[in-house]
Structure 1
C-alpha cells in the first residue's frame, strides 16, 4: 500500500524566487527532501513575472522580499495582475509585522521569516493542501 500511495502522489511545481545562493541552496535541499517537488528558480522578481507570463504553471511560489531588478512585493503584485491565483508565500530575513503586512497587501497568501526550515515548509505545504 505504501508504494501505491507514493505512486499516487502528484508532483508539486514550485517557483523559488531568491537572489541569495545560500537561501536557494537551503530551499533546494528542503524541497528535495519533501519529495515530489519539481523546482524552478528565478533570481529576481522580474524573472519570476516573465516565467509566469510565458506560461509557467506552479502550485506554489516562494518569493524573497529584497532582490535586485524587482523585489518580491512588486513581483507579487504583477503576478496577481496577470490573474494568477497560485499561492504565493513571502519570505524575508526581516520578520516584523510590517514585513508580513506588506507582502499580504501586495497579494501574497502567507508570510514566513527566513530561514526556511523543514517545519516551516511542512506548514506551508499543509496550509495550501500540497502535502
Structure 2
C-alpha cells in the first residue's frame, strides 16, 4: 500500500491524545486526507473529559507518555466510559517491551514511534470498519 492510498473516513471522529505539538501536527497532516474530524487532547485527563462530553468519538490514538494523566490511566478510564471504543496506543517502545502493559491497560492495538504512515492508516481503517 502506498502513501496515496485513499481512505474516506468522512463522518468519523478521531481523538488524538498527544502532548507534543510536533507529533500532533504530524498525525493531523497524515490523517487530513481521510476526511475524518480530528480532535486533540493534550493530556490523558483531557482525553477522558472529551470522551465523557463527546460520546460520538469513533477511535482514540493514545500517546502513552503524557503529563497530568498518562495514557495507561486515561485508557483505563475511557474504557470504563465506553468499553467498545477502539484505542490505539502510540509508544516509543517496540513490540514486547511494554506491549503487555499497553494491552492490560485496555488498548486494542499499538503503533511504535516513529510511526509508519501506511500501517497506521491500515490499522485505523480496520478498527473503524
TM-score band w.r.t. shorter chain:
0.7 to 0.9
The alignment's C-alpha RMSD in Å is: 1.9
2:74 corresponding residue in structure 1: 75
Name the CA distance, whole Å, in 2 between partners of 1:13 and 1:44: 18
Name the CA distance, whole Å, in 2 between partners of 1:96 and 1:9: 28
Cα-to-partner distance string for 1:45-89 (whole Å, 9 max, x where unaligned): 000001111234211100001110000000000011123411000
**Pairs aligned (count):** 123
2:30 corresponding residue in structure 1: 30
Name the CA distance, whole Å, in 1 between partners of 2:93 and 2:110: 11
Name the CA distance, whole Å, in 2 between partners of 1:93 and 1:80: 22
Computing the radius of gyration from Cα coordinates, the structure with the larger value is: 1
Query: Normalising by the residue count of structure 1, what TM-score does the alignment of the two structures yield?
Result: 0.84
The verdict on how the C-alpha distance between 1:11 and 1:117 changes in structure 2, with shifts beyond 3 A counting, is farther
Equivalent pair of 1:27/1:116 in contact (CA under 8 Å): no
Q: Which runs of 5+ in 1 are unaligned?
A: 1-5
Name the CA distance, whole Å, in 2 between partners of 1:75 and 1:9: 25
Equivalent pair of 2:111/2:120 in contact (CA under 8 Å): no
Query: Normalising by the residue count of structure 2, what TM-score does the alignment of the two structures yield?
Result: 0.86
Task: Extract structure 1 runs of 4+ deviating beyond 4 A.
Answer: none
Q: Which runs of 5+ in 2 are unaligned?
A: 1-5
Name the CA distance, whole Å, in 1 between partners of 2:28 and 2:116: 11
